[in-house]
């Protein structure tokens, strides 16, 4: 594999120092997972697991693919959650609360 065509990298900031390390065209070398969009958020979803029935509707409707499935239960990845609130709005059990960041 050539220097400019490496395996795609996850969760890594890529800094290319020299033009010789670049591919000849704009070509992806890594995934946007380096970009922690959780910093965009000003309200934060909190799941009340006592009420949650693991229906995974929050997982299903997340536009940021940041509701993970952990042992059959939904787990919000706050590194990426932008705080859109769709999960709380769509939850059939009303068990997700949107709370202000820092409170």
Q: Measured from the CB atom, is 22 or 95 closer to other proteins?
A: 22
What DSSP character marks residue 76?
E
Q: Go through 34-72 and write b for each residue having 16 or more CB atoms within 10 A of its CB, e for each that does not.
A: eeeebeebebbbebeeeebeeeebbbeebebebbeeeee
Binding mask 59-78 for other proteins (x = CB under 8 A): xxx-xxxx--x--xx---x-
Query: How far is the C-alpha of 27 from the C-alpha of 25, rounded, in Å?
Result: 6
Here the tokens at position 5 are: 């065509």
One residue of 27, 92, 102, 103 binding other proteins per CB under 8 A:
27
Looking at 39, 40, 93, 94, which residue binds other proteins (CB under 8 A)? 40
Chain positions contacting other proteins, by CB under 8 A? 2, 5, 8, 14, 16, 19, 22-37, 40, 54, 56, 59-61, 63-66, 69, 72-73, 77, 79-80, 82-86, 88-90, 98
């Amino acid at each position: 594999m050539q220097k400019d065509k490496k395996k795609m990298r996850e969760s890594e900031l890529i800094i290319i120092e020299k033009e010789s390390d670049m591919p000849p065209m704009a070509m992806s070398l890594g995934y946007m997972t380096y970009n922690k969009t959780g910093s965009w958020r000003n309200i934060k979803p909190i799941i009340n697991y006592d009420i949650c029935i693991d229906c995974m509707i929050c997982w299903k409707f997340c536009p940021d693919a940041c509701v993970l499935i952990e042992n059959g239960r939904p787990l919000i990845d706050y590194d990426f959650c932008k705080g859109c609130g769709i999960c709380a709005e769509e939850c059939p059990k009303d068990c997700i609360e949107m709370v202000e960041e820092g409170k």
